[in-house]
A = this chain, B = another copy of it.
Amino acid sequence: MAEYEAAGEEVELDEARVEAIREAVDQGDSALVSRLLEPLHAADIADLLEQIGATERRELLALWSGEIDGDVLSELDETIREEVIESLPPEVVAEAVRDLDTDDVVDILEDLEAPAQGKILDALELVDRVAVEQAMSFPEGSAGRLMQREVVVAPEHWTVGDAIDFLREATALPDQFYHVILVDPRMKPLGYITLGRLLSARRDVRLKDITEDSFRTVVATEEEEEVAYIFNQYHLISCPVVDENDRLVGVITIDDAMNVLDEEHEEDMLLLAGVGEEASVFDGPIATVRQRLPWLVVNLFTASLSAFVISRFEATIAALVALAAVMPIVASTGGIAGTQSLAVAVRALATRDLTSSNARRVVLREVTAGAINGVVLAVILGLVGTLVLGDPWMGLVLALAMITNQIVAAFGGVMVPLTLERFGLDPALASGTFVTTLTDVMGYLAFLGLATMVLL
């Protein structure tokens, strides 16, 4: 009874425990460190290692290194993992990875340099090593890298009784499996049966009569993004992976797909904000600069476009300096509107809610909404502008420029990602910079152009 009571304790990594562990590390109390870490889930230990500083991390690992297990390495953020693996004695790393499923070993190896990779491969048993090397032969980010090779299959003529007897006698079943996959003699998957269905069916029922409706397979070279989409769209729990000849080579489970979905979201959000897709809060300042500086430099030049537009109107501004103060309002509100429209479009493209079937309708919707927003904002800005600046013509110019820029922003916000997608690029890639450049240039052009015509 004691074992499962302990398992049910659900110890979480709260601030108090983090502080207690830090203190134990400070005092070099190896026994206390082990006692505090022991009830924690590997994912929480990894979080702890990520959140403390590099010096503290080295000290903690020195006190605790003998006990680190593969699951902790597997849960660590890539930026930290390499550092941790390098700081551990090779035999500890070898021991740690030996317990992992091959898909988790592949995940760890992907981000390591060649010498560190070799060290880990050498530590594996031959059969695992072959499995890992085969998985690594698939392109990075493909279904082949995600899948586990351990599968449970049954020939198509088996009954429920045959399958149950087989499972009960099998000596090495995968850690996690949810389906028995039905295959033909060429190992082509034909369908699968959930374990729940298997358990509740009569022994003489034929497996092929109780397969699931939602059966799908993916090809090993398929991109992981597509795999995550299929899991999410069709509510799959696991999905067999086949080679180019339709033969079963492995299976992907939903936890891996959930992970990919999570990373895809992160990538969209970061790309949209002009940050390299690999950005992490654990990166050092230099890695951070490397991710962000390129887009900042690009923006420096696109912003110069606005400066150029404004410089064409220097005579206008010289004649009426108040224009310089109010002109950013139109540009800035346009930037926000463009970002709104962009975020909805990028998201809809990712979930495939925006397709060629409804693109025209969505663009029309955006432009209509943009025009309505523009009119409302124009009325407010026109009235306030007239009152504050004491010139109804100035109010009129502000209002007209606002309407124009809101429509351009709405249109640009949806057209830029649609166009990137059409050319096979990631719709989130740099769209933010494109769209705000567009709304800045249009904002200044419309406002200063109208001002030149109306006010001078």
Main secondary structure of the interface of A (DSSP, over half): helix
Which residues of the other chain, B, contact A390 by a CB distance below 8 angstroms? none
Which residues of the other chain, B, contact A282 by a CB distance below 8 angstroms? 353
CB-CB nearest in chain B for A175: B196
| Partner of A345 from B4, B281, B440 at Cβ < 8 Å | B281
Binary per-residue interface labels of chain A (19-31) against chain B in the complex, 1 for a CB within 8 Å, 0 otherwise: 0000000000000
Give the oligomeric copy count.
2
Does chain B have a CB within 8 A of A137? Answer: no
Of A113-121, A124-132, A165-173, the segment with at least 4 beta carbons within 8 Å of chain B is A165-173
Does chain B have a CB within 8 A of A342? Answer: yes
Please count how many residues in chain A sit with their CB below 8 Å of the partner chain's CB atoms. Answer: 146
Which residues of the other chain, B, contact A358 by a CB distance below 8 angstroms? 50-53, 281
Inter-subunit contact B329/A328 (CB<8 Å): no
Binary per-residue interface labels of chain A (272-303) against chain B in the complex, 1 for a CB within 8 Å, 0 otherwise: 11110001111111101100110111011001
Give Cα A257–Cα B232 distance, bound, in whole angstroms: 11
Known pairs A52-B358, A173-B196, A292-B373; A190 contacts B5 (CB<8 A): yes
Inter-subunit contact A176/B196 (CB<8 Å): yes
Shortest CB-to-CB span from A275 to chain B, Å, is: 5
Does chain B have a CB within 8 A of A336? Answer: yes
Inter-subunit contact A293/B324 (CB<8 Å): no
Shortest CB-to-CB span from A207 to chain B, Å, is: 9
Which residues of the other chain, B, contact A440 by a CB distance below 8 angstroms? 328, 332
| Partner of A51 from B8, B177, B283, B355 at Cβ < 8 Å | B355
Does chain B have a CB within 8 A of A357? Answer: yes
Give Cα A16–Cα B149 distance, bound, in whole angstroms: 35
Does chain B have a CB within 8 A of A85? Answer: no
Does chain B have a CB within 8 A of A142? Answer: no
Does chain B have a CB within 8 A of A91? Answer: no
Inter-subunit contact A353/B7 (CB<8 Å): no
| Partner of A208 from B4, B273, B372 at Cβ < 8 Å | B4
Known pairs A235-B43, A314-B325; A258 contacts B269 (CB<8 A): no
Of A59-67, A92-100, A210-218, the segment with at least 4 beta carbons within 8 Å of chain B is A210-218
Which residues of the other chain, B, contact A43 by a CB distance below 8 angstroms? 233-235
CB-CB nearest in chain B for A197: B173
Does chain B have a CB within 8 A of A41? Answer: yes
Which residues of the other chain, B, contact A454 by a CB distance below 8 angstroms? none
- The A353-381 residues at the B interface (CB cut-off 8 A) are 353-358, 361-362, 365-366, 368-369, 372-373, 376-377, 380-381
Inter-subunit contact A273/B190 (CB<8 Å): no
Inter-subunit contact A348/B281 (CB<8 Å): yes
Which residues of the other chain, B, contact A299 by a CB distance below 8 angstroms? 332-333, 336
Does chain B have a CB within 8 A of A18? Answer: yes
Shortest CB-to-CB span from A117 to chain B, Å, is: 25
Shortest CB-to-CB span from A401 to chain B, Å, is: 13
Shortest CB-to-CB span from A209 to chain B, Å, is: 8
- The A177-224 residues at the B interface (CB cut-off 8 A) are 177-178, 182, 189-191, 194-196, 198-200, 202, 208-209, 211-217
| Partner of A196 from B53, B178, B325 at Cβ < 8 Å | B178
Give Cα A299–Cα B281 distance, bound, in whole angstroms: 28
Known pairs A168-B200, A265-B265, A296-B373; A303 contacts B332 (CB<8 A): yes
Shortest CB-to-CB span from A290 to chain B, Å, is: 9
Inter-subunit contact A208/B432 (CB<8 Å): no
Inter-subunit contact A194/B176 (CB<8 Å): yes
Which residues of the other chain, B, contact A295 by a CB distance below 8 angstroms? 336, 340
| Partner of A368 from B47, B237, B285 at Cβ < 8 Å | B285
19 A/B residue pairs, CB under 8 Å, sorted by A: A1-B208, A18-B357, A43-B234, A43-B235, A235-B255, A254-B254, A258-B261, A270-B343, A273-B343, A274-B336, A288-B366, A289-B372, A295-B336, A296-B406, A307-B326, A310-B325, A314-B324, A328-B328, A328-B440
Q: 3 nearest interchain CB pairs? A: A273-B343, A281-B348, A195-B195
| Given contact pairs A5-B190, A332-B436, a sample of 17 additional A-B residue pairs in the complex whose CB atoms are under 8 Å apart | A3-B211, A4-B191, A43-B234, A50-B353, A167-B199, A173-B200, A198-B199, A232-B258, A258-B261, A281-B347, A289-B372, A300-B381, A307-B325, A310-B324, A314-B322, A328-B444, A336-B436
